[in-house]
Amino acid sequence: MEFDNLHALLRNLYTEMMPLCTDMAGVAKGIAGLGALFYVAMRVWQSLARAEPIDVYPMLRPFAIGFCILFFPTIVLGTLNAVLSPVVQGTAKLLDGQTIDMEQYQEQKDKLEYEINMRNPETAYLVSQEEYDRQLEELGWSPGDMWTMTKMYLDRKMYQVKKWVRDLMREALELLFAAASLLIDTLRTFFLVVLSILGPIAFGIAVWDGFQSTLTQWLSRYIQIYLWLPVSDLFGAVLARIQTLMLQADIERMQNDPNFSLDSSDGAYIVFMIIGILGYFTIPTVAGWIIQAGGGTGNYNRHVNTAGALAGGVAGAAAGNVAGRVGRGAVTAGRYAKKGIGKIFGRK
């Protein structure tokens, strides 16, 4: 399945798990009812003991919380999701627009690279099988031409290996990049499902004296984790925009400088993708800047950042190791092949 379908699957999972909130409402009503009894009784007894008039307004708090528990999926979750969903939709549209631009510039860059190689007779056979066959037919089959044909074959294979390694590293890093985004979305969905299903319990406990902060902590954590997706989309949009600017710069240099090499551009792209993988694991921290949630969320954010640093280091080391080994192996194989063919034709 494509990663977009997996993200859509997670959204459907959250929607399908919401009816489970009703199962917890019965337990929450018992907890809240008992808490409301002690809450109201204590305040009435305090007012009577002090010979003070009974203040009814503070006693309405347990009843308001109980009303929220009775209609938790509609009143609480429905209101929160209705308020926060426009933020998600806006950032998703922003990400889609930037991604489309990046894909168009990538296609333009690949096409321009092909045209540059085709305009140069010395490199046209590297990218075109027809041009390679045509030049072979023009050479004939003399011993001298056989050496030239073999050299052309080796150059073409070296170019294909180099291009294969470049595409392999790019696809591997893009896969890790998409996996980091999916990991954040999966954790977000899991936390939201847990908070939603056990939300009535948190509301019921909040009725008791000493646990009033449970309500505000639940709300702040739900909003913070819900904002992971908009922050992730914004981060992806920023990365896509930077990639678009890089592609525009490469295209401009390729159009103005015929000797421009893509090696440095590919190296910068690889480094940038590693930075992007690391950046995805800072999303919980950035969401915490928008709304602060106490408790264990901060410790979790530190663990996520540590895991992100480790994942980025592994990705960078693996990419560098693969590129180095494949590159050295291809160069060594080409040298030995040329030496062997040179000995066959009496050349060094």
What average pLDDT is seen over the chain? Answer: 74
Tell me the pLDDT band of 288, cut-offs 50, 70 and 90. confident
Phi, psi of 147 (to 5 degrees): -65, -45
Q: Can you tell me the distance from the alpha carbon of 104 to that of 97, in angstroms, rounded to the nearest whole number?
A: 11
Q: Minimum mean pLDDT among 1-10, 177-186, 237-246: which range? A: 1-10
By CB atoms closer than 10 A (0-12, 13-18, 19+), residue 280 is buried
Closest by CA position to 164, among listed 344, 346, 330, 341: 330
Long-range interactions of 83-90: CB distance < 8 A, separation 24+: 84/223, 84/226, 84/227, 87/227, 87/230, 88/229, 88/230, 88/233, 90/230
pLDDT 10s digits, 289-300: 888 765 444 444
Dmax (CA) of the chain: 119
Give the whole-number percent of the chain exceeding pLDDT 90.
6
Segment of 9-18, 71-80, 173-182 carrying the highest mean pLDDT: 71-80
The answer to whether residue 328 scores a pLDDT higher than 60 is: no
Q: Can you tell me the distance from the alpha carbon of 121 to that of 118, in angstroms, rounded to the nearest whole number?
A: 7
| Section 60-82 average pLDDT | 88
Instruction: Kindly give the residue spans of alpha helices, DSSP state H, lying in 198-296.
Output: 199-205, 213-226, 228-256, 263-280, 283-290
Buried b or exposed e, range 154-172, using 16+ CB within 10 angstroms: bebebeebbeebbeebeeb
Q: Can you tell me the distance from the alpha carbon of 165 to that of 312, in angstroms, rounded to the nearest whole number?
A: 20
What pTM, to 2 d.p., does this model score? 0.69
**Beta-carbon neighbour count of residue 16 at 10 Å?**
10
Torsion from C-alpha of 219, 221, 225, 226, nearest 10 degrees: 0
The answer to whether residue 317 scores a pLDDT higher than 70 is: no
Q: Can you tell me the distance from the alpha carbon of 34 to that of 77, in angstroms, rounded to the nearest whole number?
A: 24
Q: What is the pLDDT of residue 303?
A: 46
Q: Let me know: does 239 contact 273? Beta carbons within 8 Å.
A: no
Tell me the pLDDT band of 1, cut-offs 50, 70 and 90. low
**Beta-carbon neighbour count of residue 54 at 10 Å?**
12
pLDDT 10s digits, 209-243: 888 888 989 999 999 999 998 898 888 888 888 88
Q: What is the pLDDT of residue 171?
A: 81
pLDDT 10s digits, 88-103: 888 888 888 777 777 7
| Section 5-22 average pLDDT | 81
The answer to whether residue 266 scores a pLDDT higher than 70 is: no
Higher pLDDT, 39 or 321: 39
Q: What is the pLDDT of residue 341?
A: 41
